């Protein structure tokens, strides 16, 4: 079987989900040919730059405008249809790369590519099974395309909404979860991890995923947290944000904060998630999913309107996170660390929400669809 996975660079979550599925397929079925392609880049540099940079600029510079557009395109109005049509116009640009890979099934991690594949099937240019994977914790009309064979969602309420609000056939919707690498669900003991990372397993630990925050705000927040006289370990990961890393480095030296472990980009985020008692983060779909897989309660520091705001609503409704503000956030986190019963309940809620077998289940769904005759 040939599997083609389409991803996109509008945030890192789509790529991480695609990589998790790829890794699982390779481990379960070495004979399966699996290829991951950035669909935006496959269409062309201009389109990729326009969509990816446009998303980043709107989400970071004009979040209120982005939030309004997000809500507007979720309604059954002419603007929503115009967005879908504009995506469909680019569909033929994908055809060459699809034909080159000759897939039996396509797994799609972005709504725009979902629209395009559906259009190609509608026009009779493509006869391939297609799965749309929604990598957030609420649905959106942009994912709904009539010629997609299956929609994979994070949890059952999303499945109900797809069917009731958007008219998707129940037989097409699968609440299998968002895929993560196995290491987020299974790890060494906390004691073993702490020993390797030179941390104390007995001291409360806060993980800050700081790379996607604004520099000034997150530094002020960190300073509040680091200044506490209480026993506390802080792990700060800035990702590939070298400017933020340098700011943190100077701040740590200025404070003489010996309770902080500062890291740039790392490939073992899962280890630090398993060590931490709470994570301070923005609520991107994959970061949320990985935290849930680790049983790690979240303190949400900031959220863009749109997908991130929807993710926050989901987490708060299931008591898997708290929403903290810039003024009192550090104190709120300390209060949470001092509430072992609340923390334990949040950890258990995360575990209940987790789908550790999501990647395998999505692969099994792909196999099942390929065996079914076209209707």
All domains of the chain in start order, with CATH: 2-178+356-371 (3.40.50.2000), 183-353 (3.40.50.2000)
DSSP 302-332: ---TTHHHHHHHHHHHTTSEEE--TTTHHHH
> What share of the chain has pLDDT > 90, as a percent?
64
Residue 306's pLDDT is 87
pLDDT at 71 over 70: yes
Tell me: the pLDDT tens digits for 280-328?
Answer: 998 999 999 999 999 999 999 888 888 899 999 999 999 999 999 877 8
Residue 221's pLDDT is 84
pLDDT at 86 over 70: no
Specify whether the backbone of 77 is left (phi greater than 0), alpha (psi in -120 to 50) or beta: beta
| DSSP letter, residue 235 | E
Instruction: Name 327's Cβ contacts closer than 8 Å, sequence gap at least 6.
Output: none
pLDDT at 109 over 90: yes
pTM over 0.85: yes
State mean pLDDT over 113-124.
92
pLDDT at 373 over 50: no
Residue 78's pLDDT is 56
Residue 46's pLDDT is 66
Q: What is d(CA 39, CA 93) in angstroms, rounded to the nearest whole number?
A: 10
Q: Judge contact between 296 and 321, C-beta under 8 A.
A: no
Q: Judge contact between 290 and 20, C-beta under 8 A.
A: no
Closest to 367 (Cα-Cα) out of 51, 82, 34: 34
Q: What is d(CA 198, CA 184) in angstroms, rounded to the nearest whole number?
A: 20
Residue 375's pLDDT is 38
- Determine the distance from the C-alpha atom of residue 252 to the mean position of all C-alpha atoms in its chain, rounded to a whole number: 29
Residue 77's pLDDT is 59
Tell me: the pLDDT tens digits for 231-257?
Answer: 999 999 998 889 899 999 999 999 988
Q: Judge contact between 74 and 80, C-beta under 8 A.
A: yes
């Amino acid at each position: 079987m040939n599997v083609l996975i389409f991803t996109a660079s509008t945030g890192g979550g789509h790529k991480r989900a695609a990589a998790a599925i790829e890794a699982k397929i390779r481990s379960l079925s070495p004979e399966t040919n699996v290829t991951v392609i950035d669909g935006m880049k496959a269409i062309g540099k201009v389109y990729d730059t326009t969509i990816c940079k446009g998303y980043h600029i709107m989400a970071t510079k004009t979040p209120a405008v982005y939030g309004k557009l997000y809500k507007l395109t979720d309604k059954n109005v002419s603007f929503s249809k115009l967005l879908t049509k504009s995506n469909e116009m680019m569909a033929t640009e994908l055809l060459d790369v699809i034909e080159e890979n000759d897939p039996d099934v396509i797994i799609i991690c972005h709504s725009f590519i979902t629209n395009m594949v559906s259009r190609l099937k509608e026009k009779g240019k493509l006869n391939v099974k297609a799965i749309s994977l929604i990598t957030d914790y609420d649905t959106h009309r942009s994912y709904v395309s009539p010629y997609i064979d299956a929609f994979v969602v994070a949890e059952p309420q999303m499945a109900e909404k797809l069917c009731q609000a958007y008219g998707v056939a129940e037989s097409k919707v699968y609440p299998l979860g968002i895929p993560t690498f196995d290491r987020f669900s299974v790890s060494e003991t906390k004691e073993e991890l702490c020993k390797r990372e030179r941390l104390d397993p007995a001291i409360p630990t806060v993980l800050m995923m700081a790379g996607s925050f604004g520099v000034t705000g997150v530094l002020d927040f960190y300073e509040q947290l680091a200044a506490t006289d209480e026993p506390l370990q802080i792990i700060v990961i800035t990702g590939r944000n070298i400017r933020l890393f340098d700011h943190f480095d100077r701040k740590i030296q200025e404070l003489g904060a010996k309770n902080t472990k500062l890291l740039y980009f790392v490939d073992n985020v899962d280890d630090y998630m398993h060590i931490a008692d709470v994570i301070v983060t923005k609520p991107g779909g994959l970061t949320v999913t990985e935290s849930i897989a680790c049983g790690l309660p979240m303190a949400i520091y900031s959220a863009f309107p749109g997908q991130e705001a929807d993710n926050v609503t989901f987490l708060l409704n299931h008591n898997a996170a708290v929403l903290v503000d810039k003024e009192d956030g550090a104190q709120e986190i300390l209060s949470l660390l001092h509430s072992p019963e609340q923390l334990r309940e949040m950890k258990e809620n995360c575990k209940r929400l987790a789908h550790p077998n999501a990647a395998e289940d999505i692969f099994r769904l792909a196999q099942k669809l390929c065996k079914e005759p076209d209707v």
